[in-house]
Structure 1
Amino acid sequence: METEKRDKNKKRSFRREKRQTGEGQAHREPVLQQKTEREAVIELLYSVFEEGVFLHLALRRLFAEAPYFDTRKRAFITKLSHGTVERYIQLDYFLSLYSKTPIEKMKPILLQAMRLSVYQLLFLDKIPPHAAINESLNYLKKRKLQGLVPFANAVLRNINKDKERLLEELKSKHREDAIGLALPDALFSFLKKDYGLEDTIRIAKAFLSEEGGFFIRNEKGEGERVSGNIMEEERFLSGDVTIQDLSSQEVAKLAHLKEGAKILDCCSAPGGKACHLASLFGESAVVYARDEKQDKLYLIEENQKRLGLKNMRIEAWDARVEDLQFLENGEGCLDLVLCDVPCSGLGVIGKKADLRLHFSEEGVKSLQKLQREILSTVQKYVKPGGQLIYSTCTLSKAENEENRDYILSHFPYKLEKEKKFYPGEPGDGFYYASFIKKAKA
């Protein structure tokens, strides 16, 4: 009997030891702490505003790390984050009216939570005020910032109470200023200098337009506005259609079609224009699609494979570095060079709201310098009678018309055609200029 007790005690002791050490337990995956959609947005906003991460990259990272967000939740997160960034100038203005603490002195995570709440309260009518407010307050509690909750609660409830008056003030008192147009002062002044007040208002309203969808180049080679996840549809997967903004589609149509043409797209990623050119010219032509950044080439390659294009040569190359293979006896040998340069992107702010955060006049000047360095190199590759197409997705005259004049005054070209697309007419803001290289006298 005594021996039996000792055996039982040994077994209990052995089992207890195994529990304590974890030995013998089935392997358990760590539990993934799931966030709510609004919690995810607050943290995403922090990375955009405080760490300088681009919004689309922050979203991509979030969705990769949080696969539990389904399609509907991802769409909601995207809408909240884009809208908050898009209207942050207005949101900060309203917060400053009700907060004794200046915006710049608020804790960054508190500011993001309050921005998100104010955006929902004022601009998303279908969201109940209690949801817009309480989820941000609960997040602050989770972050052990309970001491800030009474302050945030009072400010947000007062803004909600005065909602109609504040929105009316936005339309009347601020109709023609940076606050009413949701633009940083520097960007508002820059556009007004280039375009005047009325056109600046028109451009800014197009940025804020809620017209949904985006453009594709369809089976007929025409622009078509669509919505939803086109990338899961058979006609996209089969290569019958491709995503490309309406204004961007105009570039390839400018090209003078010719059998056996040799074409260079010197700043190509993600490759929409290069693929369009390759599809128009047929397999007798060759399209060199280049980009300085090696890690962007996969974007071109994905498009090439999906569209089944065999006449493309994809490679990493800094467009400022001369390539002797495109020169014969010191003269260019290419039929067409497309120079779609890196730019400030002011034409696509409607899609990329966070470009508001990165704009500076000094940045535009720096980009113009880069653009001219690229132009000075690649214009050499065009043979006499050949074509140079210069394009951007920006509205800056320094990057568009001034560079047009730079080409005409420094290189042997004549202007064939140019066009500027304003945002919302009906696609993105865009500019192109087509030049023909003069024959030597």
Structure 2
Amino acid sequence: MQNAGARRQGRHRTDPRFLAWQVLRRVEGGAHADVLLGRALSDADLSPADRALAVRLVYGTLAWQLYLDHLLAGFSHRPLAELDPAILVLLRMALFQICFLDRVPAFAAVDTAVQLAKRHQHGAATGLVNAVLRRAAQGWKGVPLPARERDLAGYLSVRYSHPRWIVEAWLNQFGPEETEQLLLANNEPCPTALRVNRLRTSREHLLQLLQESGASAQAGIYSPDAVIVSGVDPVSHPLHAEGLYSIQGEAAQLVSYLVAPKPDEAILDVCAAPGGKTTHLAELMSNRGRVVAVDSNSRGIDHLRRECHRLGIAIVETHVADARTWAPPTQQSFDRVLLDAPCSGLGTLRQHPEIRWRRTPESVRSLSQLQRELLEQAASWVRPGGLLVYATCTLLRQENEEVVDDFLARRRDFSLIAPGDEIPPFARTLLDERGTFRTSPHRQGLDGFFAVRLRRSTPVGNVAS
């Protein structure tokens, strides 16, 4: 006879709503949704449609959390903060289906939530779940929002489910119309992008192999290495095990093109883990030269080493260290240095929706200070005439322009330069008048990235090689 744990494990493998609920419960406790969901799906026995449903439930519920809580508060007789966290997550997930998934009838969303509630704490909250969701299913469209005319930031915060401080920051940067477009885009599903490993195949051949395996695959627009896929689990696909591709967003791929490494050069990747850009740099160098990768996250560096083995890369040298205090064991300067700086990640909310609820103005201020320290240290490793690329995956000026402008005001030996022919043709539309690289979900359908190229001057009398 099966015990309760075995039955739960079985439901986890075959029931997409139960799987999504379990993932959401752990994310509520601080776990990362993408990692947890990936593990759960790899162990699950779900049809492609059910896998897609589980993904949509997890990411949609997290993205729309503030809006869902605003609605639920009007139908629950108890304050939401007093509810069992597992039950609150279940209510959000069910209401997300009612509000956003047209193919799921409201009565079905209510019924499945009630059935799931029966499996928690001996069904103690079943009545509450049933009552709240039935009231919400009938009346959610009539719940008032903050008045847009009197409190624009408050309205946008609730309507598009972002913390107010983020909305206010973006209103100052982008204005009302563009901010509203950005907020909406952040809540849309993120396409899955692959990066072809040109050491082993071409993009055209990879597209053919993916399509023959039943996947929907098409070439990316901006990166010549990008393939956009759906209808397939890219992690468990045999082509992934063969090292024919990596999973990496298209905007992230373009950062390596901004570095523009050449075969036989010495490259330093600061804050390298988990290594997506490190391996891309090595691929662009045709596996010739030297790429030194430094990061304080030992697990991330271990992952990078495994990726190098999977992809057939032999030129990456790894170091587990804090880049602010690390001393290169041999080479003291590099032709090109990439600082993919730790940041708030607010340009990646489509694939990491939960981080909006974990970042604060205080944490951004701390990150901005860390970015300044790392940029100063990274600059010391650039040879005269060499290149330093500063990149983030955030849209906040405080972590981008302000960090770079402060650095340039202090370091007269560095100057901002625009990319030349190194960057792919379509990607040149992503540069502003200063040559700054910018992408965003609402403009190009890409993650929000920022990057600049900084050239170190050559002392008088020396000629850059």
Aligned residue type for 1:359 = R
Residue 32 of structure 1 pairs with residue 15 of structure 2: no
Query: Paired residue for 1:226?
Result: 229
Q: Is the alpha carbon distance of 1:102 and 1:256 closer, same or farther for their aligned partners in structure 2, counting shifts above 3 Å?
A: closer
1:38–1:280 distance in 2 versus 1, CA, 3 Å = closer
Which residue of the partner structure matches residue 215 of structure 2?
none
Letter in 2 for 1:223: A
1:216 and 1:171 map into 2 onto residues whose CA distance is 45
Say which of 272, 275, 295 aligns to 1:271: 275
Q: Are residue 437 (structure 1) and residue 456 (structure 2) matched?
A: yes
Question: C-alpha separation between the residues in 1 aligned to 2:340 and 2:191?
Answer: 26
Output one character per residue of 1:363-400: Cα deviation in whole Å (capped at 9) or x when no partner: 11111111122122221111100000000111111111
Q: Distance in 2 between matches of 1:98 and 1:283?
A: 60
What is residue 164 of structure 2 aligned with on the other side?
Answer: 185
Q: How do residues 11-410 of structure 1 correspond to structure 2 at under 5 angstroms?
A: 32-33=6-7, 34-35=10-11, 36-49=15-28, 51-60=29-38, 62-63=40-41, 67=44, 73-144=50-121, 146=123, 148-162=125-139, 165=142, 177-210=156-189, 212-217=191-196, 219-220=202-203, 221-227=224-230, 228-233=232-237, 235-325=239-329, 332-410=332-410
- Inter-partner Cα distance in structure 1 for 2:147 and 2:349: 21
Report the CA distance shift for 1:154/1:198 in structure 2 as closer, same or farther (over 3 A): same
Moved more, 35-44 or 66-75: 66-75
TM-score (structure 1 length as normaliser): 0.83
3-state SS of 1:388 partner:
strand
Cα deviation for residue 196 of structure 1 reads: 2.4
Instruction: Please tell me the residue identity of whatever aligns with 1:100.
Output: H
Indicate conservation of the 8 Å contact 1:348/1:429, yes or no: yes
State the 1:153 CA deviation: 2.0
Computed over aligned residues only, the root mean square deviation of the Cα atoms, in angstroms, reads 3.0
Q: CA deviation at 1:339?
A: 0.4
Shift of 1:30: 9.5
Shift of 1:407: 2.0
Sequence identity of aligned pairs in percent? 27
Cα displacement string for residues 52-99 of structure 1 (whole angstroms, at most 9, x for unaligned residues): 2222233245457x6555665444322212111111111111111222
State the alpha-carbon separation in 1 of the partners of residues 341 and 315 from structure 2.
23
| Matched residue type, 2:454 | F
If you compute each CA radius of gyration, which structure gives the higher value, 1 or 2?
1
Q: Is the 8 A contact 1:339 1:389 kept in 2?
A: yes
SS in 1 for 2:27: helix
Aligned residue pairs, count: 408
Q: Distance in 1 between matches of 2:127 and 2:3?
A: 39
Q: For 1:99 and 1:31, locate their aligned partners in 2 and report how far apart those are by CA, in whole Å.
A: 31
| Aligned counterparts of 1:241 and 1:368: Cα–Cα separation in 2 | 33
Helix, strand or coil: the match of 2:110?
helix
Q: Does the 8 A contact of 1:264 with 1:338 survive in 2?
A: yes
Q: CA deviation at 1:233?
A: 4.4
Please state how far the C-alpha of 1:146 moved relative to its aligned partner. Answer: 4.9
TM-score by length of 2: 0.79
Q: Which amino acid aligns with 1:404?
A: V
- One-letter code of the match for 1:389? V
Aligned to 1:415: 416
Give the deviation of 1:337 after TM superposition.
0.6
Does structure 2 conserve the Cα–Cα contact (< 8 Å) formed by 1:322 and 1:377?
no
